[in-house]
Amino acid sequence: MHNGTLMLIATAAVGIVFCAACNVSGPTAPNPLLGEWDTPFGAPPFDLIQEAHFLPAFEAAMSAHADEVAAIAGDAADPSFNNTIEALEWSGELLDRTKLVFINLNEAHSSEGLQALAKEINPRLSAHQDDILLDKELFTRVRAVYDSRDGLQLTTEQHRLLDKTYKAFVRGGANLDEDAKARMREINGELASLTTQFGENLLKEMNGIALLIEDEADLAGLSESVRSAAMARATEQGHEGAWAFNLQRTSWTPFMQLSERRELREKLYRAYTQLAANGGETDNRELAAQIPALRAERALLLGYESHAAYVLEENMADTPAKVNELLEQLWAPALARAAVERDELQALAESLGDDIDFAMWDWWFYAEKLRAAKYEFDEAAVKPYFELESVRQAAFDVAGRLWGLTFEEQPEIAVWHPDVRTFEVKDDDGSHLGLFYVDYFARGSKRGGAWMENFRQQWKHNGDEVRPIIVNVCNFSKPAEGQPALLSLDEALTLFHEFGHALHGLLADGSYSTLSGTKVAQDFVELPSQMMENWALAPEVLPTYARHVETGEPIPPELVEKLQRAKQFNQGFATTEYLAASILDMDWHTLTKPVVQDAMDFEAASMERIGIIPEIVPRYRTPYFGHIFSGEYAAGYYSYVWAEVLDADGFEAFKEAGLFDPEVARSYRENILAAGGSEEPMVLYERFRGAKPSIEPLLVRRGLQ
């Protein structure tokens, strides 16, 4: 359950989706979203859910929630923590359940008809939340409990819930006058519509064919696995006998790294960097200009200098100045390192007899050649050792060695697509911890990237505990029929990363869903995911699962050594493109006036100010920066590197004691994974680590010292 009052509205939705096998013309049976789920572990009945079930379910659920909230606001008894704060926490269960199915499915398996429903429902959900947060009588009760907090005998977790609830109302506009409240409602409604449209446009452009190759000679340099995936993609979209590449990173990056056809690399590169900026109905430039202006206006209404100031108040970073301090501290050494790397690549091209003016679309290609020359590292030689099933099982095995967790597949549980697999997760004593879905392969109905979400949060109430239902979604290339799914090194790390998020949800042990699992400060939430990546390439782990897909031979020690030595390779580039995107995000969201800017002029000025070299662009340019314009990372994209400071420092505890030391593992589970948002994140981190984090391990890891 998610708290109906505090849960963020799904303005990131790119369309509601449903079981591909279901009837879409209308429900022919009772609405499963409105009834009890008589399913194993209370899993959503995806085999019964139809498109037409969503709208009536949302309407009924919002109505029921409104009645629950009205009863709390109108309670004749004096306001108390139990009858007001906890009552709000337990309200809206039906809406939360419907919303979580809606959010998860709309991202993983979309359709045009359901995208239209997303456009309708998201503004209504926004208005419903405003009705709650701007309710005078309800806020009077919440404020009364908050004002008496020092005299209440509350646990640390209860104090945290009270503080979060009160701040949600204040930050939602409860203290505004009536005119300002009316404008707040308008802004929230507009943002719900604009961000939904941004995400929908991006989905359409990401999954379209960006490069169709019909002459096999144009595949020069591409590995057999890349060719096979491209042919399968082309066949799926009606181009039998051709090879198709789209703008998903799993398709785009291998082509940029391996293709010997420079003119085709340029074509695919330009297609990516011009995503959603080509005119027509999927152009996001105007939307990207309007969204920050509306966010700035809302922040000013609430008394904040900028949207970033509004967001960061709830994060570890606290202020834009602290974020900018970290980004600036990393920017100079990263940019300097990237310039050295560029010069090395230019020199390599010249040594190979390639008479070119080194350009953006050359970086990946020559970087692969330099990595092979410098570290004797060949991605094509490495990939056969990273078979998807083996990598997934390795992640499970790490959790088993750390905490005794086991994962038992449950093929009888209904899923939303045939590619999805489901596992019951058990603790070391055999008790049920949660349900875990994995949906790994790319498809046209799925948005880009990789993520973890909940179908149900962990929480406790009246002596009962509800265990979580978690999903990991990725966009790995699906191999041709009968072929194994092979991952690149980056994709293997992505699987471990998302599994770290999943563990944060699965091992949650809190009383309130609002504070459970990944419901933590945004710049803390990436700590468990990035921490888990460390085990993927650890010498104690890698040889246990990295076996050649054809021979079964374990990865040779010399190749393991090359992987370890190559970890810092190209980190100037990787850090610079990431930091550039983080700075662009902060620039958009530190606007102090609600003025609509020209999106591309604004971006150009931002990049000119920081002096980015012309061979690198931000990891996400403005028109396709879904994290901040249709997701939950506005003024928060910096979070990955903020959390990496914690991760690099925190993993030192395991390195010092042993990667599977039971005491360190227990402390990490108890203070980080299980604790969720029940206390301030720095308090939890220091309790685990015994000290504040240092930035030095991160600088060393990235080779920036």
Residues annotated as catalytic (active site), given as ranges: 498
Type of residue found at 224: E
Residues in a beta bridge with 476: 441
DSSP reduced 3-state for 423: strand
Q: Please provide residue 612's backbone torsions phi and psi, each rounded to the nearest 5 degrees.
A: -65, 145
Residue 670 tokens, joined: 């108890």
The beta-strand segments (E) located in 220-288 are: 243-245
Residue 354 tokens, joined: 């390639």
On whether the CB atoms of residues 165 and 4 are closer than 8 A, the answer is no
The beta-strand segments (E) located in 134-234 are: 211-213
Distance CA 237, CA 240 (A): 8
List CB contacts of 593: < 8 A, sequence separation 6 or more: 296
Q: How far is CA 151 from the centre of its chain?
A: 40
CB count within 10 Å of CB 359 equals 13
Q: Give the H/E segment covering residue 628.
A: helix 626-629
Distance CA 265, CA 211 (A): 10
Of 217, 256, 651, 673, which Cα lies nearest the Cα of 488? 256
415-453 b/e with 16+ CB inside 10 Å = b?
bbbebbbbbbbbeeeeeebbbbbbbbbbbbbbbbbbbbb
List CB contacts of 573: < 8 A, sequence separation 6 or more: 338, 341, 342, 363, 367, 616
- The length of the chain is 705
DSSP reduced 3-state for 243: strand
Residue for token digits 């990393």?
330
DSSP conformation class of 511: S
Distance CA 24, CA 19 (A): 9
On whether the CB atoms of residues 396 and 302 are closer than 8 A, the answer is no
Residue 527 tokens, joined: 């700590």
Distance CA 312, CA 308 (A): 6
Q: Please count the CA atoms within 13 angstroms of the CA of 249 that sit on its side-chain side.
A: 14
Of 12, 597, 583, which Cα lies nearest the Cα of 290? 597
DSSP conformation class of 486: B
